[in-house]
Structure 1
Amino acid sequence: MAPDLTTWAQVDPARYPFDPADITAVVRAVAPAPESAGESQTLAWVDAVSLALAQRYGPWAYHWYWTPGEHERWGWIGERIPVPAEAPAFVAESLQAWRRFLESLAEQFNRFLRSLPLKLDELLPAWEAAIAQVMTTVIAHIVDADSWQGWCRRALRWLLTAAGVPAEHAQALVDVALGKRFDHWVPVTATIIGEVAERLARDLLDPTGIMLVARIDNWPDTWPQRWPSWRATNTGWVSG
């Protein structure tokens, strides 16, 4: 079964070492890409490659063709597989683009979560700014103005789960913040980003629920081998 990648732990680059040098070898170990094949054969090959990459690099690699904007620029993955001889390089390029996107989010998440203010009255604007920044980063990669909603939902769930919010709670918060009014074609604007950021931050820091009040500043900037990510051991969540 394909990983759903709903939590940051499934895609966090800090958890999954990555050496791009052997991507093509991993792909070549799978049966050659089908040439002039039907859709079912092509998708079967994509699934086989995805499984091999996930086994080698971690669950994040299963969706090696997920980089925001790739679908809009090049079409569905089943429509853009090149001839067999060029397929390994194509997969390697797509996987590395996907990894770079995740690393760019990781930098943002780490910078924000390490600098959370201690004062409660400063938490709300800090979260609003972080949410707006994540949305802006994701939207910048998207070509089709109608596809921003799905990617913003995914990235915001990752941000919340990176901060220790349980996955189901994170999904509920994001769903409420974005709402059904954005399920149909609605061009994104700075006003929409601001509204979503304000609503999500307010709901996240509801004083009657769970509040993120701890500042994570007791961990080094670099990690010795085999050390856990701070996200795995410091949730920063307390009952309000």
Structure 2
Amino acid sequence: MANDGPTPPALATWADVDPARNPFDPTEVPALVRTMVPAPPPAPVWRESRWIGESEAWAWVEAVSMALSDRYGSWAYRWYWGPGEGERLGWVTDRIPTATEAPAFVAESLLVWRRWLESLAERFDRFLPLLDPAQAGPGDLVATWEAAVAHLMRTVVAPVVDNDGWQGWCRLVLQWFLSAADVPAEHAEALVNGAVGKRFDHWVPLTAADIDDIAERLTRDVLSLTRIVSAAPNDNWPDTWPQDWPSWRATNTAGRGLT
């Protein structure tokens, strides 16, 4: 468990982590980190049915987080959050480095995290101009929103092996994307949680059908909230198709029950 201390930044909006708002020179990181990172404690050990030294380990992680965020911005507070890094190498407190290894350990983790944020920024920049209602018709907006959400979900889950780990990442990245698209922060979290739903809360693998379903739900709810379009494009299906099969765009059916 993390130690008590200053409230960490929520990083709930894209503005909190957007690389464009936080200039960063990766070449200077190794040298700077050597002057900023305190000596780490011994790695925690499991003894007598409990972890010994875990609170000290978290205190060190917190000290590093504060130093990095003071220097680089709030995004650096989660320097150890690189997707997949914990699964490949172990959770950060499971791999506390030695004093000699600490600067390189922190620098590499920070760079992994920054590169991942930059890759997200490139994807956001590709989709966001296409979501301008002044430049796109209703049908194009629906298709682009769905494509963007599905693409981001596939990107996020690719490095995540744990079936209980993808949900948090998807929620966070989709929330960032909505905030980048000017959806108010107070609505973005609720919209994403509503689209993902509780059915994925416990050890459930993500399927292609799930991605399509979440993309449709989130698109429908975002466009309904923002009133960007008055009606979704027609996507009618014949009466012989199974009940609940068509997408929410169908006008001649009850849709897929996406309520």
Q: TM-score, normalised by structure 1?
A: 0.84
Counterpart of 2:56 in structure 1 is 41
Who is 2:226 aligned against?
A: 210
Deviation readout 1:120-156 (Å, 9 max, x if unpaired): 2211111000000000000112121221111000000
Other-structure match for 2:103: 88
Q: Deviations over 1:144-199 (max 9, x none)?
A: 12211110000000000001111120001001000111111111010000000000
Q: How does 1:63-102 map to 2 (within 5 A)?
A: 63-102=78-117
AA in 2 matched with 1:170: A
Counterpart-to-counterpart distance in 2, 1:115 and 1:36:
48
2:139 paired residue number:
121
Q: Is the 8 Å Cα contact of residues 69 and 144 (structure 1) preserved in structure 2?
A: no
Closer, same or farther in 2 for the Cα pair 1:98/1:36, shift >3 Å?
closer
Cα distance, 1:27 vs structure 2: 4.8
Matched ranges for 1:12-31 at <5 A: 12-24=18-30, 25-31=32-38
- Check 1:86–1:124 CA distance in 2 against 1; reply closer, same or farther (3 A cut): same
Conserved 8 A contact 1:20-1:96: yes
Amino acid at match of 2:76: A
Q: Please state how far the C-alpha of 1:212 moved relative to its aligned partner.
A: 4.5
Matched AA of 1:32: A
Task: Report the Cα distance in structure 1 between the residues aligned to 2:18 and 2:124, rounded to whole angstroms.
Answer: 10
Which residue of structure 2 aligns with residue 228 of structure 1?
A: none
Task: Establish whether residue 141 from structure 1 lines up as the match of residue 141 from structure 2.
Answer: no
CA distance, structure 2, for counterparts of residue 112 and residue 31 of structure 1: 41
Query: What amino acid is aligned across from residue 54 of structure 2 in structure 1?
Result: E
Distance in 2, matches of 1:126 and 1:36, equals 47
Q: Cα distance, 1:28 vs. partner?
A: 3.4
Cross-structure match for 1:233 = none
Higher RCO structure (Cα 8 Å, ≥6 apart)? 1
- Contact 1:153/1:175, CA 8 A, preserved across alignment: yes
2:186 to 153, 158, 168: 168
- 2:80 counterpart letter in structure 1: Y
Count the aligned residue pairs: 211
Runs (4 or more) in structure 1 with deviation over 4 Å come to: none
Q: Say if 1:132 and 1:194, in contact at 8 Å, map to a contact too.
A: yes
SS in 2 for 1:115: helix
Q: Which residue of 1 aligns with 2:244?
A: none
How many percent of aligned residue pairs carry the same amino acid? Answer: 59
Q: Over the residues paired in the alignment, what is the CA RMSD in angstroms? A: 1.5
Q: Quick one: distance in 2 between partners of 1:27 and 1:195? A: 47
Q: Unaligned regions of 5+ residues in structure 2, if any?
A: 1-6, 45-52, 230-259
CA distance in 1, matches of 2:43, 2:169: 32
Equivalent residue for 2:248?
A: none
Structure with higher Rg: it is 2
Output the CA distance in 2 between the equivalents of 1:52 and 1:186: 37
Deviation, 1:35, is 2.9
CA distance in 2, matches of 1:88, 1:154: 28
Query: As a proportion of its length, which structure holds more helix?
Result: 1
Quick check: 1:82–1:90 contact (8 Å CA) kept in 2?
yes
Task: Determine the C-alpha separation between the residues in 2 that align with 1:164 and 1:212.
Answer: 12
Alpha-carbon shift at residue 204 of structure 1 (Å): 0.6
Runs of 5+ consecutive residues of structure 1 not aligned to the other structure: 214-240
Q: Tell me if structure 1 keeps the 8 A contact 2:43–2:96.
A: no
Aligned residues of 2:33 and 2:107 also touching (Cα < 8 A): no
Q: Which amino acid aligns with 1:72?
A: E
3-state SS of the aligned residue for 1:111? Answer: helix
Shift of 1:19: 1.6
Does residue 10 (structure 1) correspond to residue 28 (structure 2)? The answer is no
